Structure 1
Amino acid sequence: MLSVLVPGGTGQLGRDLAALSSPSLEIVAPGSAELDLTSTGAVVAAVVELAERARAAGHQPLVVNAAAYTAVDAAETDERRAFAVNVDGPRVLAAACSSRRVPLVHVSTDYVFPGDADRPYEPEDPVGPRTAYGRTKAAGEDAVLGSGAQSWIVRTSWVYGATGANFVKTMVRLEGERETVSVVDDQHGSPTWSADLAAGLIELGESIVETGGPARRVLHCTGGGETTWFGFARAIFEELGADPARVSPCTTEEFPRPAPRPAYSVLSNKSWADSGLTPLRPWREALAAYFAAARR
């Protein structure tokens, strides 16, 4: 049986991880108010408590770090705070995991890449972040991998879920407020439902405690296939029963943001499948399942 600690437990991924808790899978998912990743003492105490509780019960401990500073635009003027959450916090968490021999799965992002590729990024491709958010996430990866902990990095992209702010929720709101919506059509990526990602992370965790985990320490895990934000928005309108023609394409130049968005940040899932892990379903299929679940 696994006993899992999930920092960032009240975010969209954290909540979907917590929802997987069962008699054979204990998941404790504190939010930042309960476990502040920038508090060294709190982080160390949480890992110590996890290790002692799990081993006393004959369980295998695991940490899945879902905590992150993800406000991409705000990070451009608040990089110090982003660094504290995305680099310093994971460094302390990884050190605590190393000292207690607790495996760590750390969630990262497509933003570590420059976003100018012409094919899906593989884990071994050179990083080259172009935003403060991306820089801090890349540095966080280095901190975890250099800690000596038994650790894995899982990069993902375009995550949406039932809680928190995300693109799907924004489009649902705009569909009810506006007759037409303009969405950029020159940025490519892979939408990922947080519920599917959560299941994949637990599968990885089970592989780690049962067999020692994949030999590769950096993996990519996203919804299958790729689209643009425009294509994603049209699919959302279709799921709402709205006319997708109400969504019109625009360019990145027409919709400037403080932080530059990658033009192409599709992640190859080959490393995930090659590690014997179940690929996530195609993004369009997952989107339909997300809305079906929301209607229940």
Structure 2
Amino acid sequence: MTYYDLSIISIHGFPKYNLELMAIPKGVKVYLRFFNYSDIIHLSEQEETKFELKAGLISALCNFSNQIDKHIEILEFTTQSDTKDKEIRTNKGDALITTTTESYLFHDQVRKKIDLIYSKFIYPKLPLDASEEISDNEETEIIEILTDGKAKTHLNLKKEPIEISAHKFLEEMDAYGLKAIIITSMDLSPLTCFSSKTVYSLRDINEILRNIGNIPDIDPFEWKYRQSFITNQQCWVFLINSGIGITVEDLFEPYYYLLVTTPNSYLGEFPARLTAEFNDILT
């Protein structure tokens, strides 16, 4: 699980909806991501007003962080001209959406999921303080979007040929340092893992991804590699954007293939070969 909760509130602070997916894990860094679907409200420029707002914000955040047993280290603000919240929308209202997730997820891909949830389930209910509640069926659909239900189902239908192909590659490339092959969803949420001698659990995969640090955007059919660690042992991770995937509503969700190797492994054109074979199976 890479999403832990989702909350919907109005710009005026009305708590509309809260979804708890899983307890936030202890001992790991998580991100509380903000998505603004409201019209920008220009507040007073008086210093007293700014200070009062800041004081209230800090107090509320400290109380919240204590409640989830976390420390707040950095609160990052982007300028309105830089953030995609500034993009022209035809369906703005009074909603703010937050979600607590793993830190390594692609933020722009998380945004696309939240955009879909907003346009399908929230916008038709605006204004929030006078709308009907989210139904059980709608909540099930929201969970399916956040947890990649359709991507998992499609992958499961191809389970046998993917397993055969993955284990063939692991045996072939073992001498070159390949240790595991991971398939993730559009935002880097792990879906399945194949390994040879060392068995990698979901906990291991999360540790590897958390330790990568900043993960850049990757164009379709391209790959990049980063260093990481697992149980204090260094490893390399090749991240491949498959360029193929499934579509939920109008949202295209590509799969990513991750190759975990020993440090300084040279794979040559192997990532391209694996991508071509996996793509043939999954399309």
TM tier, smaller: under 0.3
Q: TM-score, normalised by structure 1?
A: 0.25
TM-score by length of 2: 0.26
Max Rg structure: 2
The answer to which structure has the higher strand fraction is: 2
- The structure with more helix, counted as a fraction of residues: 1
